[in-house]
Amino acid sequence: MSQTSRRCRPLRRARAARSARASAFLTLTALGLALWPRPVSSQKGACEGAYQPQFKYAGGTEEIPPGCSGTLQLGTDSMTYSCTPHTAVVPYRAIETMQYRADVVRRVRKLKVKWRLVPPFGGGHVNRYFTLVYRVSSATHVLILEVPNDEMRPYLAEIDLKCGRRVDVERHEDYQ
């Protein structure tokens, strides 16, 4: 072995050790920042209290103004759509059809009901319309709500559990 390589070996080891320590430090710092809780003021909806997903009335037989934004609350016996000052209560046992799709299906459009707001035409590859067809006192009611996909996901599982039946969700895996 030459004299130069013996002198450089400790330098190489020291540089490698420093590099490994720096890499570990940066990794731990990044992990710490990622896990650090955000201040309350930067969280979504912190100014108004708890954030509530917005469901927009897009069509149906209910006496609710077009485009009225409100919340959907899931109770033990029914789900309630509240859009100040209007509310629509849908008992779970009265539900005939539950769908979450990019459009409103033709069968629902062709129902012989008194539409207060005609169902919207949709389409595309992003689900956005939550459609409920239910029967109360032998009268058929329809409630169509527009809600973004990321806000609807948590509701789907809870509706399945409370209602005892699945929501028909149109899948678009081939297109994403």
Q: Do 82 and 167 share a domain, yes or no?
A: yes
Burial degree of 55 (CB within 10 A; 0-12, 13-18, 19+): buried
φ and ψ of 148, to 5 deg: -65, 150
Range of the domain at 9: 3-36
What is the residue-level pLDDT of the chain in tens, covering all 176 positions? 555 555 556 666 666 666 777 676 656 566 565 665 654 444 444 445 565 668 999 999 999 998 899 999 999 999 999 988 899 999 999 999 999 998 999 999 999 999 999 988 877 788 889 999 999 999 999 999 999 888 888 888 898 888 888 888 887 654 44
Residue 132 in any domain: the answer is yes
Q: Do 7 and 89 share a domain, yes or no?
A: no
Q: How many domains does the chain have?
A: 2
Residue 46 in any domain: the answer is no
Three-class SS state of 113: coil
Q: What is the CATH number of the domain that holds 147?
A: 2.30.29.30
Q: Do 29 and 95 share a domain, yes or no?
A: no
Q: What pLDDT was estimated at residue 31?
A: 57
Residue 49 in any domain: the answer is no
- Give the residue from 174, 154, 153, 156 showing the smallest Cα distance to 165: 156
Q: Do 161 and 100 share a domain, yes or no?
A: yes
Q: Do 32 and 67 share a domain, yes or no?
A: no
Residue 111 in any domain: the answer is yes
Going by DSSP bridges, is the β-strand pair 95-101/129-136 parallel, antiparallel, or unpaired?
antiparallel
Q: What pLDDT was estimated at residue 126?
A: 82
Q: What pLDDT was estimated at residue 22?
A: 66
Q: Do 12 and 89 share a domain, yes or no?
A: no
Q: Do 59 and 106 share a domain, yes or no?
A: yes
Beta carbons within 10 angstroms of residue 42's beta carbon: 7
Q: Do 160 and 103 share a domain, yes or no?
A: yes
- Give the residue from 88, 97, 142 showing the smallest Cα distance to 116: 142
